[in-house]
Chain A
Amino acid sequence: MLAYIFKRILATVPVMGVVALFVFLMLRLSPGDPAAVIAGDYATAEDIARIRENLGLNEPIVVQFTKWLGQLLQGDLGISIFTNLPVTTLIAQRLEPTLLLTLTTIVFTVAVAIPLGTLAAWKQGSLIDRGVMLFSVAGFSIPVFVLGYILIYVLSIQLKLLPVQGYKSPFTDGLWPFLRHITLPTITLSVIYIALIARMTRASVMEVLQEDYVRTARAKGQSEFKVLMKHAVRNAAVPIVTVIGLGIALLIGGVVVTESVYNIPGLGRLVLDAVLKRDYPIIQGLILLFSFIYILINLLIDLAYTVFDPRIRY
């Protein structure tokens, strides 16, 4: 068991290495002089020289990579070109809204998608089932930001139920304002994720419901609720949890868009501001951070399988 955990953790090292190498090479192998591209059209020669210096582009590429990787391993993501602040500081400043939005989204998604998917599998072919399938097809077709604007238009502008945009911190502004501001972004960001997970839940619960032990449980007169909860959902958990983990990638992409629609000062906005200013160290740092989180979450989920499915023993 311990050996498995150790092996699994070790297996993430090459993946992270590939991510780091890719991010490193992306700047160096891009066509033209990256320093000139980053400096923009109005840059002077000094500006370009300063950016070359900042990115360490003057040295041989192998030296650059070792230095860069060494800094990275110490948690140093470099210095932002425009603010001259460490990227880690900038990330820390913007972390809270993104983290909380992601958390509310995951909680909301799991709370909605798993019951919906289970219900659809249980009443296969019913109106609920068709509704869930329709929703999951539609959820993959509506662009996140269009959905966001529809929600703002209906709930905020027409019905005046919720604030249009902005973010309030639960720590400094109070819980209620926070909840009011986070509701629409959470729903917006959840839809595609719910579509994904409800669909997967439906598929895997449906498969489990055909198992012999489910028929046995029913035959011995167990209530349908217990059959669903104790037998079906529990045994369907592994694929569902896998999809929750893989969906994190979807979520991270959605965060950038959702924060932009709702004007939330989080990491997604940091990326966009950095893109507009061509502040490459920030973009690079955030790609590394998000990829790292994605790898970490999927590692944790892999390890969690042993909890969900006692048959899996390593």
Chain B
Amino acid sequence: MAGNPGQVDFSESADTTLSSRKDVSLVAIMWRHPSVFWGGLLLAVIVVIAIVGPLFTVDPVALNPIKRLKSPSAEFWFGTDFLGRDVLARVVHGARISLVVGLAVAVIAVVLGLLIGLVSGYLRWLDAIMMRVMDGLMAIPGILLAIALISLSGATLVTVVIAIVIPEIPRVVRLVRSVVLSVREEPYVEAAIASGTRLIPILWRHILPNTIAPLIVQATYICGSAMLTEAILGFLGAGIPPEIPSWGNIMSEGRTYFQLTPWIIFYPGIALALTVLAVNTVGDGLRDTLDPRIARKM
């Protein structure tokens, strides 16, 4: 970096500080936090089951009125429901829906929250307005908001995802904004401004990289809570249309026969709890590794 200090490429120096951090490869994370390994393993198993499982089970919506409400047996591992459908097949199929909803919500909420948070953290005038909007949105209970949105727009997979995304956005915006507010005072950002870098490259090259680690952590938590919300909506009869075998819908249908066949609720319930547990454990481990500032507090 010899020569005129005015020609120093500040983006270059920002990049070296990033890469010179401690090893954050996946193997290193798992080595340091065994819970991430077990959580990740469990999650991997669930994902594999969700992808290939339906190839090995019977049709999850095939009716068999003669074999209604059967207890778990060699033929029906998880028993059958009130229409004689195989609960195992339905639970395996439901894993796909839960994972798709969780992933979709996490990705969409993070991307939207990131955009809003970056811009509003950087532009003071917009910030005041956006923060009031986010405060208001946060005050509305998420499940009620989702229920209302779905009841107004009709229940489909897409509307359910959107309805779960909207209440999650403020959390992401606040997170991104707090990172932006602390980073924008850093010397390398001031230097970038001083050297005449435009707004978009500053956001993209200097500020965005700082938000990635906390956002990955946040995304896993959003994924877990989105799967829970989706199941709650299904359970309440306000979620994905009932003909789709999501875990929430299976449990919702199991309610009437609960005293007779409790497993119709328990099997999808356990599957859901394990999946969310796996996702949250991975999230905790990532947080401890990527974001030691918060990790110390928790």
Contact = CB atoms under 8 A, between A and B. Distances in A.
Interface of A: 14-19, 21-23, 26-27, 30-32, 34, 37-38, 137-138, 140-146, 149-150, 152-153, 157, 164, 199, 203, 207, 249, 252-253, 256-257, 260, 271-272, 275-276, 278, 280, 283-284, 286-287, 290-291, 294-295
A275 B151 contact: yes
A284 B236 CA distance: 18
Interface string B254-298: 000011001001100110111011001100100000000000011
B136 A143 contact: no
A18 B132 contact: yes
A137 B139 CA distance: 25
Contacts of B251: 145-146
25 contacts: A14-B136, A15-B135, A15-B136, A17-B136, A26-B149, A32-B153, A37-B153, A141-B224, A141-B273, A142-B276, A199-B298, A203-B297, A249-B138, A249-B139, A253-B143, A256-B236, A257-B236, A260-B236, A275-B147, A275-B236, A275-B238, A284-B148, A290-B141, A291-B140, A294-B141
Where chain A touches its partner, the secondary structure class is helix
A287 B140 CA distance: 7
Contact of B273 (A30, A142, A149): A142
B24 interface: no
Interface in B150-197: 151-154
B238 A272 contact: yes
Contacts of B262: 149, 153, 157
Given A37-B154, A141-B276, A295 B139 contact: yes
A272 B150 CA distance: 12
Contact of A26 (B139, B152, B272): B152
Interface string B120-137: 000000000000110111
A146 B284 contact: no
Nearest to A19: B136
Contacts of B281: 137
Given A252-B144, A275-B238, A287-B141, 10 more contacts: A30-B152, A37-B152, A37-B154, A141-B280, A143-B272, A153-B258, A203-B297, A287-B140, A287-B145, A291-B141
Nearest to B150: A275
Nearest to A158: B262
Where chain B touches its partner, the secondary structure class is helix
A23 to B, nearest CB: 8
Contacts of B37: none
B152 A271 contact: no
Contacts of B141: 249, 252-253, 287, 290-291, 294
Interface residues of B, number: 46
Interface stretch (B69-77, B111-119, B209-217, B227-235): B227-235
B53 interface: no
B137 to A, nearest CB: 7
A283 B163 CA distance: 15
Q: Which of A144, A253, A256, A280 has the most CB of B within 10 A?
A: A253
B142 interface: yes
B269 A141 contact: no
A169 B266 CA distance: 30
B280 A286 contact: no
Nearest to A21: B136
A203 B232 contact: no
Contacts of B224: 140-141
Contacts of B284: 137
Contact of B148 (A18, A26, A253): A26
Contacts of A199: 298
Nearest 10 pairs of A and B residues by beta carbon: A18-B136, A146-B269, A253-B143, A141-B277, A30-B152, A141-B276, A252-B141, A291-B139, A15-B135, A19-B136
B144 A145 contact: no
Nearest to A252: B141
Contact of B139 (A15, A140, A203): A15
A16 B138 CA distance: 11
B241 interface: no
Contact of A203 (B138, B272, B298): B298
Nearest to A138: B277
Contacts of B277: 137-138, 141
Contacts of B238: 272, 275
Contacts of B242: none
B60 interface: no
Contacts of A153: 258, 262, 266
B237 interface: yes
Nearest to A202: B298
Contact of B136 (A22, A37, A157): A22
Contacts of B236: 256-257, 260, 272, 275
A290 B110 CA distance: 26
A119 to B, nearest CB: 17
Nearest to A13: B132
Contact of B235 (A37, A145, A271): A145
